[in-house]
């Protein structure tokens, strides 16, 4: 079975438990005042052509550009019932990990319809989120077409990445906490994106996002340091990160090789993920990427 067909099949199976959370008395597709908590879900709604129904978004919703003019409802995991209800929505579409739980209880008590997105935080799960949004908004045909297009785009970019011969060693730094870098190990979105872009994750001996001490970073010998743009700015910018003793003495530090990307683009697992993989691949393979059409 081709990767495209596997992705679409995974979307269908992953969606089954999610739809039970989204069952409402309101006919699907009739929602006209939608609030969204989750940047990936916001992107999908706009990609399906329903952006004109969105009246409010959370802080992680930074794309497409027109969302900047919409009212904010706070951070996805720190929502308030008052902030959501003040916009007069007829539907809240929320990420699977949106919260806190008490707020969702309050919203349901107030009679607000709520659709919870599937817990699909990998590229294989993008189609499941697209199908979920399409079904609850009455855009199943459009969702099927978008899912198929994304599967084709993912397969096409992966074919090009597979032709790259070298695999640079990459260290993803999520943040710096207590003076120690918090890095992305196995079972993280960062690990998957590094692999899909033709790199080797030097923190793969860890699981999840974990602190990595100086000795371990020096021993890992990363060729490239990867960070999200906004997270780098919170710790003084990527220049400050590269000047840290545990980074400056690595091959990446000596060569000044750092890559920063928009966080939602890099780790959002939304409609722009094929472009994100290609962008990261070009940054990791500046010499050879043009040769394979990246």
Show which of 129, 154, 179 is a domain's final residue: 154
- Is residue 171 within 8 A of residue 290, CB to CB? The reply is no
Cα–chain center distance at 60: 10
Give the confidence band of 4 by pLDDT, cuts at 50, 70, 90: low
Query: 27-54, pLDDT tens digit by residue?
Result: 556 899 999 999 999 999 999 999 999 9
CATH number, residue 187: 3.40.50.1980
Does 197 reside within a domain?
Answer: yes
Instruction: Give φ, ψ of 128 to 5 degrees.
Output: -60, -40
Residues 70 and 147 in one domain: yes
> Is the full-model pTM beyond 0.85?
yes
Show which of 106, 135, 154 is a domain's final residue: 154
Give the pLDDT confidence score for residue 20 in this predicted structure. 36
Residues 118 and 187 in one domain: no
Residues 120 and 189 in one domain: no
Residues 55 and 145 in one domain: yes
Residues 186 and 106 in one domain: no
Residues 78 and 171 in one domain: no
Residues 43 and 117 in one domain: yes
Query: 46-78, pLDDT tens digit by residue?
Result: 999 999 999 999 999 999 999 999 999 999 999
Does 114 reside within a domain?
Answer: yes
Residues 90 and 148 in one domain: yes
Show which of 154, 183, 201 is a domain's final residue: 154
Give the pLDDT confidence score for residue 27 in this predicted structure. 55
Rama region for 64: left / alpha / beta (φ>0; ψ in -120 to 50; rest): beta
* Domain of 211, in residue numbers: 165-285
- 238-259 b/e with 16+ CB inside 10 Å = b? beebbebebbeebebbeeebbb
Does 159 reside within a domain?
Answer: no
Does 25 reside within a domain?
Answer: no
Does 208 reside within a domain?
Answer: yes
The count of domains in the chain is 2
Does 109 reside within a domain?
Answer: yes
Does 4 reside within a domain?
Answer: no
Query: 148-187, pLDDT tens digit by residue?
Result: 999 999 999 999 999 998 999 999 999 999 899 999 999 9
């Amino acid at each position: 079975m081709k990767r495209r067909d596997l992705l679409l099949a995974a979307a269908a199976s992953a969606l089954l438990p999610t739809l039970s959370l989204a069952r409402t008395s309101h006919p699907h597709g009739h929602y006209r005042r939608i609030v969204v908590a989750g940047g990936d879900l916001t992107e999908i709604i706009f990609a399906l052509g329903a952006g004109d129904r969105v009246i409010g978004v959370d802080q992680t919703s930074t794309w497409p550009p027109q969302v900047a003019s919409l009212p904010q409802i706070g951070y996805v995991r720190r929502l308030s019932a008052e902030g959501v209800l003040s916009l007069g929505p007829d539907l809240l579409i929320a990420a699977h990990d949106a919260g806190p739980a008490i707020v969702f209880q309050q919203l349901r008590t107030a009679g607000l319809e709520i659709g919870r997105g599937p817990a699909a935080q990998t590229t294989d799960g993008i189609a499941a989120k697209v199908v979920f949004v399409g079904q609850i908004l009455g855009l199943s045909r459009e969702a099927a077409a978008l899912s198929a297009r994304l599967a084709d785009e993912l397969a096409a970019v992966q074919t090009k990445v597979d032709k790259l011969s070298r695999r640079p060693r990459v260290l993803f730094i999520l943040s710096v906490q207590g003076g120690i870098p918090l890095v992305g190990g196995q079972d993280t979105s960062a690990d998957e994106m590094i692999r899909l872009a033709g790199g080797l994750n030097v923190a793969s001996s860890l699981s999840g996002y974990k602190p990595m001490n100086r000795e371990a970073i020096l021993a890992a010998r990363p060729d490239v340091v990867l960070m999200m743009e906004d997270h780098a700015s919170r710790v003084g910018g990527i220049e400050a990160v590269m000047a840290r003793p545990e980074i400056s003495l690595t091959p990446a530090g000596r060569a000044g090789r750092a890559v920063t990307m928009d966080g939602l683009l890099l780790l959002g697992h939304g409609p722009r993920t094929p472009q994100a993989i290609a962008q990261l691949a070009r940054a990791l393979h500046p010499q050879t990427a043009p040769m394979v059409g990246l």
